[in-house]
Amino acid sequence: MTTFGFVRHGVTAWNKEGRAQGSSDIPLDDEGIEMAERVARRLADEQWDVIYTSPLLRAKRTAEIIAEKKTDIKLVEDKRLRESGGGLIEGTTENERVAKWGYAWRKLEMGFEPNEDIISRGMGFIEEMKEAYPGKRVLVVSHGGFIGRLIKELVPIADFSMDLENTSVTIIELQEDRNQCHLFNCISHLQTIS
C-alpha cells in the first residue's frame, strides 16, 4: 500500500508571534530555513518516490530545501495541500482576537474554511496519490492544521490531539483494513547537533 510522509513547514515570524496564518502567504524566517535544512538532512537517505507541497511560501520553501537533497525525485505543487482558510482571524494573535471580538470569539462566524471542505480536498488528494503511486512512498510538505485534520481522518482510532511541531515528520501507511501510523510528530532532527 501507499505510504505517506507528512512534514509541517519550518517556523515563520507569525508562528513565533502566535498569529493565525491560515491561507496567508507568510515566508519562513531564518530559523525556519535552518529547520528545513535539518529535516532535509534527515530525509536525505530515506526512500521517497515523489514530493508534493502546498504552494504557500512557507511550505513550498521547506519542500524545495528537502528536494535539494533528493534531486532524483520530482517536486510537485498541489493547491489542495494549502492550509485551511482562517477567515477574519488570519494575521491576529489571541489577545487581538479577544480585544476585537471578546472571549467568545470562537462562537462567532469568522469565515473559516468549513472542516468538510478541508477533509474533502485532503482525502481527494490521498485517493489520487493511492492510484498514482500504489506501493510507493509519497512525501507531503504542508501545514499543521491541514495535516492534523488529515491524520485524524486517516487514523481515526488513535489520539492525535497534540499540535504538530514545525518540520515534524509523521508517517502513515495506508492498508486495506486499517491505516497504520508508524511515526507521529517526530522532531528528532531538531534535537541533534548538526
Q: Residue 13 annotated as binding? A: yes
Q: Residue 14 annotated as binding? A: yes
Q: By residue range, what is the domain housing residue 99?
A: 3-190
Mean pLDDT of 170-180: 94
What CATH number is attached to the domain comprising 73?
A: 3.40.50.1240
According to the 3-state scheme, what is the secondary structure of 37-61?
Answer: HHHHHHHCCCCCCEEEECCCHHHHH
Q: Residue 8 annotated as binding? A: yes
The per-residue DSSP string of 133-152 comes to: STT-EEEEEE-HHHHHHHHH
pLDDT tens, position by position, 103-112: 999 999 999 9
pLDDT of residue 160: 83
Is the confidence at residue 194, as pLDDT, over 60? no
Question: Looking at the 3D structure of the chain, how many domains does it have?
Answer: 1
Beta carbons within 8 Å of 24's beta carbon, 6+ residues apart: 14, 86, 90, 91
Cα 6 to Cα 107: distance, rounded to the nearest angstrom? 31
Give the cell for residue 160.
492525535
* Length of the chain in terms of residues written: 194
Q: Residue 58 annotated as binding? A: yes
User: Which residues have a catalytic role annotated?
Assistant: 9, 83
Is the confidence at residue 124, as pLDDT, over 60? yes
pLDDT of residue 161: 79
